[in-house]
Amino acid sequence: MFLPFLPMIAASVSLTLLSGVLYRPQSWLNIPLWLMLPTILVLSVILAQMPQKFRIFSRVKQAPLPEYQSHSSAKLTQPRIIILFVWLAIVYGEHLDLRLVDLFENSAEAKTFSLAILLLVYWIADAIVSVPVYQWNTPGIIEKFSRSALHLRLQLPVLSLIFIQYVWIWTINLVLPAFPSNWSLIFELLSSLILIVLLAPVVFVKSWGAQAIDKDKVYEEIRTELDEFRTPVAGILLWPDTIMPHSTAGVIGLLRGFRYLLISPKLLRSLSAVELRAVTAHEAGHIRRHHLFYYLLAFICLLELIALAGSVNLLLAWTGIYQVSGMLMVTVAIISILLFVRFGIGFLSQNFERQADCHAFERYGITPITTALLKVSWLNGINPEQDNWHHYGVRQRIEFLSNCLKNTELLQKHHQRVFRIKMGCALLALGLLGANFILSSDAMQTKVLAWKLEQTFDNWQLKDAPLLTKMGDLFYFQDQKDKAEIWYRRALELNPEEPRTLNNLAWLLTETHNNDQIRLKESMVLAQKALAGKQAAFIWDTLAEAYMKNGYYEDAADAALNALKSAEEGKGTSVEAGLDYYKKRFKQMAGE
């Protein structure tokens, strides 16, 4: 069930990573936005015809597809993967996200709107590319549009959840802008995760239009089995086969009040009463063994791994040791997601499905669950002898249960195997969380930068001055201001005219040498020199502070006014020191 949504999830994760890339190459073609965005859709139309060997204008009538293949848009096809990379390359190479941000005045909203627009374009492109035109006539075109519309609806829940997350994070940043950066990120991730876990089942059910099954004898069979197994659900629904055509059953939702059991109408009609109880026991086994939670934990491990790679890259780039390009990082992230689903989720799914089979076997014996599996393979047109990368093949599943009849110890051994897998997931998640925390800490940045500078101590050059300033910044924010002053002065020995270093040292002197008139006057000189090199609000603010500490109150008010004017022009502001900050500072300096 996870596979059809993989490209949309990969697109969202990659776009988020890409938006954090600070340095981009020059725009490749600089094509206007109004032309570039439709170009992506045109490319998706062309790529959709790849399975037809690019016979775009063919008028040859093709044989109708078998019913079980008529919804190929739910599959992860080669054209869908290609359009994902094409879309991402265009976003990166043409700076579409940055150019969209420039269209909006409010910087806090601009990023959210930019990502939302680009994901909407990808959502449509993915729907177009998923369905080729089999007949280039009116019925063929209508068929493509109708099936593309089904694909749009298939992906709608994932897109909706992504948008909900964007709005939630934007709201957090709007309401809680003063949170410390590390804790702010942790709060964003945890709160977003909780929100998605709660809303995802409801969003899927409502978006797909799943209907509750009639409260007849079949309903009572399912409800009784769930109650006996102590696995309550919020609803028992019909699987919307117009959206997801597979004849199967499944559970979505981690929490009791937000959990649903879905079963396809075809499968419901095909199963006998005991087979239905066995299938329900299989799904109840997933709930009782908390399989959905460990799927989520595995995905968290992947995100932590991607974050760890990003933290390492940022640390190396920040210290000037090495920097991997943003596009390469995003490409590796997409490939990692694909490999994770194929091998990570595939491995978990095989073992979890086998454990759920064991639950049904332990409750009703081998016949009901095996005949139900054979019916599922027949309804979906799957060869029972064919291996399956995420469920095991039907033959393999039946053979395992047959072996359990001969050796009941196999059941307990598999339960123990799954327990070890779960503990491995939990330990991996904790280990990656700890590694991310350590790598993002100021202490680690200080150690790595100190190591870098020690390697070149005897050969410091002008190009090393920014690293020395960074070392000063690290010590400053660790409240080791005496060490910060040393490193700022070392940086100025290499580059005496660098405005930011001059500004930082000037501000530090106003904080740490209130009783030293020589140092206070030096802070004023340093700020003036920084201002000569760069006109920015934060430098004017430092000069205002230096004037005030030296007793030049009128000059301090003038400098604060210039800082406010620069802030209004967008010169030298930041998230921590926005326009409101400079207004407050001017009132303070002016004595209002």
Domain limits, the chain: 1-175, 443-590
pLDDT tens-digit readout, 517-566: 888 899 999 999 998 888 888 899 899 999 998 888 888 899 888 888 88
**pLDDT for residue 283:** 94
**Which two three-digit tokens encode residue 535?**
């006109």
**pLDDT for residue 108:** 59
Q: How far apart are CA 390 and CA 343, in angstroms?
A: 9
**pLDDT for residue 22:** 55
Nearest to 471 by CA among 266, 318, 298: 318
- Tell me the chain's radius of gyration from C-alpha atoms: 30
DSSP state for residue 105 in the 8-state scheme: S
Rounded alpha-carbon distances, angstroms, from residue 266 to 185, 259, 538: 46, 22, 68
Q: How far apart are CA 501 and CA 472, in angstroms?
A: 9
Three-class DSSP category at 249: strand
Rounded alpha-carbon distances, angstroms, from residue 199 to 163, 195, 408, 444, 556: 12, 6, 40, 37, 53
**Burial class (CB within 10 angstroms; exposed 0-12, middle 13-18, buried 19+) of 555:** middle
Question: Which distant-in-sequence residues (6+ apart) come within 8 Å of 479 by Cβ?
Answer: none
Show the low-confidence residues of the chain (pLDDT under 50). Answer: 54-72, 178-182, 575
**pLDDT for residue 455:** 74
Nearest to 314 by CA among 325, 326, 323, 304: 323
CB atoms within 10 A of CB 204: 23
Tell how far CA 399 is from the center of its chain. 39
**pLDDT for residue 374:** 94
Rounded alpha-carbon distances, angstroms, from residue 442 to 181, 321, 471, 491: 12, 17, 10, 20
**pLDDT for residue 51:** 67
**pLDDT for residue 247:** 87
Q: How far apart are CA 241 and CA 331, in angstroms?
A: 34
Tell how far CA 328 is from the center of its chain. 17
β-bridge mates for residue 262, sequence order: 237, 250
CA angle (487 as vertex; 485, 491 as ends), nearest 5:
115
Sign of the Cα torsion 569, 573, 574, 575 reads negative
Q: How far apart are CA 125 and CA 412, in angstroms?
A: 48
What is the architecture of the domain spanning 443-590?
Answer: Alpha Horseshoe (1.25)
The structure's pTM equals 0.77
At residue 237, φ and ψ (nearest 5 deg) are -120, 160
Q: What share of the chain is helix, strand, coil (3-state, %, to 5)?
A: 75, 0, 25
Nearest to 251 by CA among 241, 265, 237: 237
